[in-house]
Structure 1
């Protein structure tokens, strides 16, 4: 039995060392488009079905294909309009299936981070070596097609294992070097509104960058059955609170999107209006997941570790 994941210690939001983002910004704002590939009839996984209906699931496959055919371009144009460079949570098989999408994002200097190979192949049931090979394959594919050393990871379909973070950091260092920016952050933890240091077995520096399930369009639309109008209200209120608190110490806001959800014609205006609202504020650093992780690790990581250890020691002494 494990009472907690063990990746981090409790660290109260109150009285942490102050974070200041570049230019004195209050909020580091990033958008994470999940650009995914779902197989029509994937190999069976005994721990989880790929489709909620019997497969081949043509409806499930085709709406996701719509996202890559239509929705991606539609969303990309909106992000362009507001000066937002996407941080792509990428099913890396898409590099072979739809290289045109990769080329369009690369032209815009978007970030590519790994979301596994296919979003229909899960970490569940994999051996450590199988998961290591999946991670290695995804990092090598991103580098081969984009030239980027992959900095971040979000497990395919959130199918995180006890070994995922260690393996991602380890493989990143093996492929690109200990001092590279490869394998330095995770989106698989949803425990904070600021970056936090994460314990990796190797001792390599590693950070969690906030990635919000609450603002994730799939959770909003499919799970919580929220209307586009109310999603817009949620995004604004989410930002308002983080912006207010960011006056004291910098916060992070992430909007995770899916091109087959947010980019449907009746939904896109909600994202568009939210981007207009957020980017119209002063003190917003419009950035990427990699840049947030790098800035934090260069300027605040060591101070944070010292503060966490000091408070843990003080608590133990009490």
Structure 2
């Protein structure tokens, strides 16, 4: 075995896009659309992680904290109302500490019929450097806290600030979670190799994440909206051959600003009226894939 082959972590097998078995979504829809609002809590002066700073500025970062707190005070409702108007449920990437800090936000999302999965405890506490006991405690805390606050049992995982250890995927599968959003390698669900249980990846997105759109690519609200529509149109077109998945990851303090929400709402209207989209929650996509496509994909992998 070559050194390059040894470096492959073996999380999933290589299956070329053009040679896969066809995925068929409910009602013959071409693309499964799910919206992933990140409902987060950031600490103003978090404990230091030696592997990565929580804030780029010295702590306490009043500006960074207050900017993000706009989500929980104002822009969550602006974003959520636009989603509800056009029939888009949320699949929430939740900093589970929000259940204690701002239960009103979690209650509102739950009453709208949104699904919750874990984004760690705080988005300012990273998995880097954790031992197994610490990582297990975060998973157990996430399951317990969300269940107590919402009555839901989380099924998915998006690591806090996208930080991992080599054991993360094995652990979440061991605890009964059945999808991860932490792999950005595909535009369709895929089986993930774990030591026990079953796990699939559901396509999340960095490319059309509003954080990347506004902070990395410096897009205007109109440019970001156009990007979402172009993403949708291409995936819907390719979905004629085999069903695709489009995720729209959001942060309310970005997309819910007054000057951005209008173009975004136009995107939701465009997709809702188009007719090719299955507008779903992440768990519904996972259920359909497990019921109709997982066995064949896992056997062929």
Q: TM-score band (shorter)?
A: over 0.9
Which residue does the alignment assign to 1:194? Answer: 188
| 1:280 aligned to which of 269, 273, 276 | 273
Cα deviations by residue, 1:116-142 (Å, 9 ceiling, x for unpaired)? 000000001100111111111011111
Is there any run of 5+ residues in structure 2 with no aligned partner, and where? none
Which residue does the alignment assign to 2:234? Answer: 241
TM-score between the two structures when normalised by the length of structure 2: 0.97
Q: Does 1:228 align with 2:232?
A: no
TM-score between the two structures when normalised by the length of structure 1: 0.92
Which residue does the alignment assign to 1:64? Answer: 68
Equivalents in 1 of 2:130, 2:149: separation in Å? 26
Which residue does the alignment assign to 2:12? Answer: 8
Contact kept? 2:129, 2:165, Cα under 8 Å: no
Q: What is the DSSP-based 3-state SS (H/G/I as helix, E as strand, rest coil) of the residue aligned with 2:117? A: strand
Contact kept? 2:146, 2:154, Cα under 8 Å: yes
Which residue does the alignment assign to 2:178? Answer: 184
Cα deviations by residue, 1:138-170 (Å, 9 ceiling, x for unpaired)? 111111111111010000000122111111111
Which residue does the alignment assign to 1:133? Answer: 137
Q: What is the DSSP-based 3-state SS (H/G/I as helix, E as strand, rest coil) of the residue aligned with 1:261? A: helix
Equivalents in 1 of 2:282, 2:52: separation in Å? 29
Q: What is the DSSP-based 3-state SS (H/G/I as helix, E as strand, rest coil) of the residue aligned with 1:14? A: helix
| 1:81 aligned to which of 72, 85, 90 | 85
Which residue does the alignment assign to 2:40? Answer: 36
Which residue does the alignment assign to 1:105? Answer: 109
Contact kept? 2:92, 2:116, Cα under 8 Å: yes
| 1:265 aligned to which of 242, 247, 258 | 258
| 2:58 aligned to which of 54, 57, 75 | 54
Equivalents in 2 of 1:5, 1:138: separation in Å? 26
Is there any run of 5+ residues in structure 1 with no aligned partner, and where? 173-182, 309-318
Equivalents in 1 of 2:133, 2:263: separation in Å? 42
Equivalents in 2 of 1:221, 1:271: separation in Å? 13
Displacement of 1:4 in angstroms is: 2.6
Q: What is the DSSP-based 3-state SS (H/G/I as helix, E as strand, rest coil) of the residue aligned with 1:29? A: strand
Q: Aligned pairs, how many? A: 297
Q: What is the DSSP-based 3-state SS (H/G/I as helix, E as strand, rest coil) of the residue aligned with 2:250? A: strand
Which residue does the alignment assign to 1:212? Answer: 205
Contact kept? 1:90, 1:112, Cα under 8 Å: yes
Equivalents in 1 of 2:8, 2:211: separation in Å? 26
Contact kept? 2:210, 2:250, Cα under 8 Å: yes
Equivalents in 1 of 2:255, 2:112: separation in Å? 20
Q: What is the DSSP-based 3-state SS (H/G/I as helix, E as strand, rest coil) of the residue aligned with 1:267? A: helix
Q: Does 1:115 align with 2:109?
A: no
Extract structure 1 runs of 4+ deviating beyond 3 A.
Answer: none
What RMSD, in angstroms, separates the aligned Cα atoms of the two structures?
A: 1.0
Which residue does the alignment assign to 2:156? Answer: 152
Cα deviations by residue, 1:44-89 (Å, 9 ceiling, x for unpaired)? 1100111000110000000111111001010010001011110000
Q: What is the DSSP-based 3-state SS (H/G/I as helix, E as strand, rest coil) of the residue aligned with 1:120? A: coil
